[in-house]
């Protein structure tokens, strides 16, 4: 049995941030090579602290869904997963045994050599024909002066493609550092130019800042009076959204396994937790804000406040992904990064078989089954606030300055709207949803949403938004 975990950044504000990771998880799931494909996020549920608990097997491969090496892949993700590794990840990845699971952590997909072919594919798609003689390629990276590793992949790909002779010229340019993308008319001589953004997803940079910095008016822009003569620029889609990235992820995962041909076993605690919840579900279960019923082996989930409503008055969903998509936003259309906040939208019901029910519950309330079961077995470890605060780095390090009164005030406000009970703050949870208390769900550690809010409080900006 093998589990594959894809780790994305996610966002507290933008519901679309996780879409690319969802999409690749679905593409890989369809191929049936892994017993499960799970997503985890820095800023959404399931969090990096929780995601390994949600894996069903003892053989877990973790792929950072990032375009380059840097702060997240070298510091944040290994730290939050508890890998005991910091700094550059070696080419073969990092392997650890954590809580009985063998966990292999790989380099980010963006640095895999196969991404060079994805750049060429994107260039081909953008060009009306593929004529190397008069076409220059710009491999465009974000660039940052904070971590030179993050740019290495851009220079490496540009050099590889230069040596391949497929283009008349190849340039590596950046948004945020020299050589900047705005200098392209001075450095590119060819009459045709294809620009391939080496970005993970379509977003603000690919849709706005790059076209603005390059003076592009659309997918094809003609410049009649450039220093080296007339030039036509073809603007490609970002590499990170290409279908072939799913193959790159699978290559990485297989390489991480090395010569090992042995699969893992089902994780005992995970199996026991889900066996218990499925047994309850067969009898009818209230879990958080939902009601689960069962008739003749077919399960139905709906918002508990929609109990008794005729089925035809509700939107009927038939897949776990349908449940995920219907519940990603609250009724006001706002993104729900923390799934246990009491803002689950109403108006839907899901009709599912047993296997799909598990995945739907996972999407609705990630890690809740595993953590609540561990709590009932008295093995759920709590992380007090000072430990969480000490672990923070980068822009979040300032939460270490928060006074206990500030943390409590923010938590009262934020966690007051959450189903979970703050065990990390010393609260008690004598009964859980396994005992018939729907909202009886433990919170073992402050989530990143709360950490971000505490940071805002310390900065004197609370109420002004967070990222």
User: CA dihedral defined by 293, 298, 303, 306, rounded to 10 degrees?
Assistant: -80
For position 410 contacting ligand SF4 by CB under 6 A, the verdict is: no
Pairing state between β 290-295 and 285-287: antiparallel
> What is the torsional sign of CA 24, 29, 33, 38?
positive
Nearer to ligand SF4, 292 or 443 (CB): 443
Peptide bond into 284 cis (omega under 30): no
CB of 417 to ligand SF4, least distance (A): 7
Task: List alpha helices for 316-417, DSSP H.
Answer: 320-326, 354-364, 368-376, 385-391, 404-415
For position 365 contacting ligand SF4 by CB under 6 A, the verdict is: no
Query: Taking every pair of C-alpha atoms in the chain, what is the biggest distance, in angstroms?
Result: 76
- How many residues touch ligand SF4 (CB under 6 A)? 12
For position 423 contacting ligand SF4 by CB under 6 A, the verdict is: no
Select from 341, 332, 289 the least CA-distant residue to 453: 341
The residue from 9, 192, 420, 455 that contacts ligand SF4 (CB under 6 A) is 420
Q: Which 305-364 positions form the footprint of ligand SF4 (CB under 6 A)?
A: 338, 340
- The encoded tokens of residue 123 equal 């260039």
Which residues contact residue 23 at a Cβ distance below 8 angstroms, ignoring those fewer than 6 apart?
none
Nearer to ligand SF4, 249 or 418 (CB): 418
Spatial separation of the C-alpha atoms in residues 86 and 390, rounded to whole Å = 16
For position 49 contacting ligand SF4 by CB under 6 A, the verdict is: no
CB of 386 to ligand SF4, least distance (A): 15
For position 48 contacting ligand SF4 by CB under 6 A, the verdict is: no
CB of 342 to ligand SF4, least distance (A): 10
CB of 15 to ligand SF4, least distance (A): 18
Pairing state between β 231-235 and 220-223: antiparallel
Nearer to ligand SF4, 58 or 340 (CB): 340
Q: Which stretch binds ligand SF4 (CB under 6 A): 3-11, 66-74, 262-270, 417-425?
A: 417-425
CB of 466 to ligand SF4, least distance (A): 13
> What is the torsional sign of CA 347, 352, 356, 362?
positive
CB of 83 to ligand SF4, least distance (A): 23
Q: Which 446-465 positions form the footprint of ligand SF4 (CB under 6 A)?
A: 446-447, 449-450
Instruction: Provide the 3-class DSSP secondary structure of residue 171.
Output: strand
Chain residues binding ligand SF4 by CB under 6 A are 338, 340, 414-415, 418, 420, 422, 443, 446-447, 449-450
């Amino acid at each position: 049995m093998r589990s594959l975990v894809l780790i994305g950044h996610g966002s507290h504000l933008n519901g679309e941030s996780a879409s690319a990771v969802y999409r690749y998880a679905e593409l890989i799931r369809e191929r049936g090579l892994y017993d499960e494909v799970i997503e985890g996020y820095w800023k959404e549920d399931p969090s990096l602290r929780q995601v390994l608990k949600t894996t069903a097997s003892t053989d877990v491969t973790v792929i950072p869904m990032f375009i380059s090496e840097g702060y997240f892949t070298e510091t944040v993700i290994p730290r939050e997963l508890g890998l005991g590794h910091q700094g550059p990840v070696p080419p073969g990845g990092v392997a650890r045994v954590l809580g009985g699971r063998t966990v292999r952590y790989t380099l980010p997909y963006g640095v895999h050599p196969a991404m060079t072919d994805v750049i060429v594919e994107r260039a081909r798609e953008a060009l009306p024909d593929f004529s190397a003689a008069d076409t220059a390629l710009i491999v465009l990276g974000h660039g940052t002066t904070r971590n030179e590793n993050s740019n290495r992949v851009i220079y490496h790909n540009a050099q590889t493609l230069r040596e391949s002779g497929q283009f008349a010229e190849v340039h590596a340019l950046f948004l945020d550092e020299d050589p900047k993308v705005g200098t392209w008319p001075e450095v590119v001589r060819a009459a045709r130019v294809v620009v391939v953004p080496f970005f993970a997803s379509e977003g603000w940079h690919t849709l706005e800042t790059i076209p603005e910095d390059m003076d592009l008016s659309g997918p094809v822009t003609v410049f009649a009076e450039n220093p080296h003569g007339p030039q036509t620029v073809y603007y490609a889609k970002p590499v990170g959204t290409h279908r072939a990235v799913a193959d790159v992820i699978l290559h990485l995962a297989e390489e991480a396994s090395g010569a090992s041909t042995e699969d893992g076993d089902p994780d005992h605690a995970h199996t026991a937790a889900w066996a218990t919840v499925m047994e309850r579900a067969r009898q009818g279960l209230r879990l958080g804000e939902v009601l689960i019923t069962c008739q003749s082996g077919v399960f139905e989930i709906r918002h508990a406040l929609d109990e008794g409503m005729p089925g035809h008055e509700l939107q009927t969903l038939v897949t776990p992904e349908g449940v995920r998509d219907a519940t990603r936003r609250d009724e006001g259309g706002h993104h729900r990064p923390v799934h246990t906040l009491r803002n689950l939208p109403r108006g839907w019901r899901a009709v599912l078989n047993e296997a799909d029910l598990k995945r739907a519950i996972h999407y609705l309330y990630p890690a809740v089954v595993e953590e609540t079961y561990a709590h009932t077995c008295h093995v759920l470890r709590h992380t007090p606030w000072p430990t969480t605060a000490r672990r923070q780095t980068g822009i979040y390090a300032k939460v270490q300055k928060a006074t206990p009164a500030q943390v409590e005030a923010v938590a009262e406000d934020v966690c007051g709207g959450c189903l979970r009970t703050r065990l990390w703050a010393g609260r008690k949870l004598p009964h859980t949803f396994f005992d018939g208390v729907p909202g009886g769900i433990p919170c073992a550690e402050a989530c990143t949403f709360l950490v971000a809010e505490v940071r805002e409080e310390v900065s004197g900006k609370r109420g002004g938004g967070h990222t």
